[in-house]
Structure 1
Amino acid sequence: MFWKKKRSRSTKSRLPWTRFIGPGVTIVGLLSLLGFGVGKGVDFSKLDTDLVSASTELDGSTVTTPIVGSGKRADRIRIASFNIQVFGEKKSSDPNVMGVLASIMTHFDLVAIQEVRSPKSQPVQRLVDQINASGGQYASIVSPSLGRTSQTEQYAFVWDVTRIRMIPDSSYVVSDPEDRMHREPMAATFQSIVAASSGRSGFKFTLINAHTDPDEVLHDGPDNELNVLDDVYLSIREYEYARQGEEDFVLLGDLNVDREHLYELGAIHGIESVVGDVPTNTAGTKVYDHILVDRATTSEFTGTAGVIDFVKDLNLTKEQALLVSDHLPIWAEFSIYEQPAFAAVATRPSSSAPQR
């Protein structure tokens, strides 16, 4: 049985007087620091204008996703997942690296972050401050520290408050009394903001932010964390449907396996890893990160998804890229409006608590 426990910490967005000084400056600083310059042919505006995405394969057909520009479409939202490797005091105190991270973040309306390592959530607050210093209006929420060892981690959500709102009191970390997962997932419900004049409702959805232990996903069996995450997903789905009639759920994060090894999680009826088989590590060799969507119930998904390869975009070496992360951000696009589901959720509980 999974149940809610400690609430997450929320940080309010604010606009400092330095709003016009930000990621554009620090990207140049990072590249200069690492031995790059204008004369070397680096396009410093790459992350702010034309982030190149990869193609994905859905339902046996190849779908090439368009280039993601810095402008956000009025009728779409972009949801991303990013494992910012060991995102702690050292990394968040480096203005050059933080500039790159902030520039990446501003291309998305909502980002699920894994591997935050600071019990006071300062790295996430600094990232939000960096974004807002350039004119953004972002907020964040951070989970409690999670893990069996002294190397605990936190999850976070960061979002654009002009386009997304978090449903009050909707965030929680699932309880795992049998200790089946090293880091229990974090869930929260959000809704896109639409004009009242549209006469339509904003897309409301629940995100499940997950980071598996790489040592506990190697072999199929009851102890494999992928065979626990299906219980988590189904329990949250049943609980949120009973509580608020929610039918749209997205599980995203660093699962440390490719989509052929999602095991029981990948066997849930209708669920798809929409980014596909595109490598998600900076070395370009492994698929670790996923955005899982039930396309039968979440018709808001547009079929557009991809990976942001900031290594190629900024012409970085492996060593330079690792200053940012060993993972690439992945993303998927959804309609900003609530859409009718193609099919009803298969299991609808009679109780208010998630059951296994």
Structure 2
Amino acid sequence: MYHLVAVFIAALCATGVLCSALPNVEVAPVNTSAAILPRSLSISAFNIKVFGRSKMSDPVKAAQIRDIVKRYDVILIQEIRDITGEALQQLWDMVGRSQFGMVCSERLGRTTYKEEYAYFFRLSAVQMVGVHQYDDGPDDYTDAFEREPFSVRIRPVGGSYDITLVGIHVKPTDAVKEIDALIDVYDDVIRTWPTVTDVIILGDLNADCSYASESDLLRMPIYNQNLFYWPIGFDADTTVSSTHCAYDRFILSGPNVRSALIPGSAGVFMYDKYFGMSYTETLYHSRRIRDGGQHGEVEDHGNQHDQQQCSHHNTRREARKSDKLQVATLFKDGTSTAMVRIRIVMATAAMARLNRLWTSSSINFPSKYRLYKSFEVSILLSCSETWTLHADTERRIPAFEHKCICRLCSA
């Protein structure tokens, strides 16, 4: 049961301008030694209770989730259960594909209970540079994580440095072990992107109360080393239940993000109070689902075929070195469905960045089409010769291309 947690990275504060922050959160002057961004950058993490088609079929709840996503420049969504991907696509439509990009992970989990991560990012504020799925070996309980962290490398528009975001939804009963293993994930993303020194680990770490106490964390390098800063302390309450626990956290590392963090801006957004929601409605939005294969409350389980397919996911994933994004073209279900989604997201973001070109009346259609083939199609179909596709996934590619061509024709 969670509220929303968020941090704000400073911008223009060297000129004495105070940057905006969460409602009711005090903003203090910022360390001006940080590398300056052209505007403040808001980053958040939201564990939505069993996000799927059932929740998005409720117009009121769907609109509230949309409004939450649109508050931030980057938001990590956790506990995505919908195997069809329709709920995520609906949310993307609602926030506006011309305003927000989206990238999602593969389905993760040791059993038939699986989740995905997704990042929504404001196209006017952030450029998506790369994605990386951490691999801790076979899903046979000798691995470190129930749901391996999913990372993105972002570049603030007009900024002078990149930031790696590492999203994680920790298994409650394994919280101590998984949080301790985050130091290996940090080392992994530094090896993956050696030129990026600024890293933010974010998400539902279950880092409090009975799952992981402060004495547990004090024994961990990810907590006790000066390299890492936890801006949300044990005094915070990131739940919406009767408990008082700081489950959801941020871990900052790197000279720029640590010095650019607006003091006092890391906190909790009380969306239940903001929307005037009742306690029952709030629980519907964001109630904790226990890990494991049997969940009586879980929606969007998928059909029997999905469960049979998921039973074969205990083999080691292939090494992911297909291209500069370091994302596998063949994922755990034996197809490249997730890769196609990522490529479509990247091509959509590229189309949006070149919008002035596509809408220019001074460039004729043949020239636009040649540019489209050179830029967009190369992004969309890079390494496609290695893809393994289901028929429904294969149909997404010409459908996306048709949408792009229509955009060129309508200009």
Quickly name the TM-score band, shorter chain normalised: 0.5 to 0.7
Q: Which runs of 5+ in 2 are unaligned?
A: 1-19, 29-36, 289-323, 327-411
> Which range moves more in the overlay, 141-150 or 255-264?
255-264
Contact 2:167 2:201 in 1 (8 A): yes
Separation of aligned partners in 1, 2:21 and 2:254: 28
Contact 2:53 2:87 in 1 (8 A): yes
Bigger radius of gyration: 2
| Greater share of residues in strand | 1
Report the residue type matching 1:206 in the other structure: T
Contact 2:131 2:152 in 1 (8 A): yes
Q: Displacement of 1:238 after TM fit?
A: 3.3
Given candidates 76, 90, 93, the residue that maps to 1:126 is 90
Report the residue type matching 2:223 in the other structure: G
Report the residue type matching 2:185 in the other structure: V
Q: Are 2:111 and 1:149 equivalent residues in the alignment? A: yes
Q: Displacement of 1:116 after TM fit?
A: 0.6
* Equivalence for 2:190: 237
Contact 1:275 1:290 in 2 (8 A): yes
* Equivalence for 2:45: 81
Contact 1:109 1:163 in 2 (8 A): yes
* Equivalence for 1:42: none
Q: Deviations over 1:41-95 (max 9, x none)?
A: xxxxxxxx996355xxxxxxxxx348xxxxxx96211011111111012112222
Separation of aligned partners in 1, 2:135 and 2:22: 38
* Equivalence for 2:382: none
Separation of aligned partners in 1, 2:152 and 2:254: 20
Given candidates 210, 214, 228, the residue that maps to 2:172 is 214
Given candidates 255, 275, 283, the residue that maps to 2:205 is 255
Separation of aligned partners in 2, 1:81 and 1:306: 11
* Equivalence for 1:294: 253
* Equivalence for 2:402: none
Q: Displacement of 1:202 after TM fit?
A: 4.1
Separation of aligned partners in 2, 1:202 and 1:296: 13
| Greater share of residues in helix | 2
Q: Which runs of 5+ in 1 are unaligned?
A: 1-48, 55-63, 67-72, 195-200, 328-351
TM-score, normalised to structure 2, is 0.56
Q: How many residues align?
A: 248
Separation of aligned partners in 2, 1:302 and 1:176: 34
Identity of aligned residues (%): 27
Separation of aligned partners in 1, 2:161 and 2:63: 30
TM-score, normalised to structure 1, is 0.64
Separation of aligned partners in 2, 1:95 and 1:317: 17
Is the partner of 1:176 in helix, strand or coil?
coil
Given candidates 162, 184, 191, the residue that maps to 1:204 is 162
Report the residue type matching 2:192 in the other structure: Y
Matches of residues 33-112 of structure 1 in structure 2 within 5 Å? 52-54=23-25, 64-65=26-27, 75-112=39-76
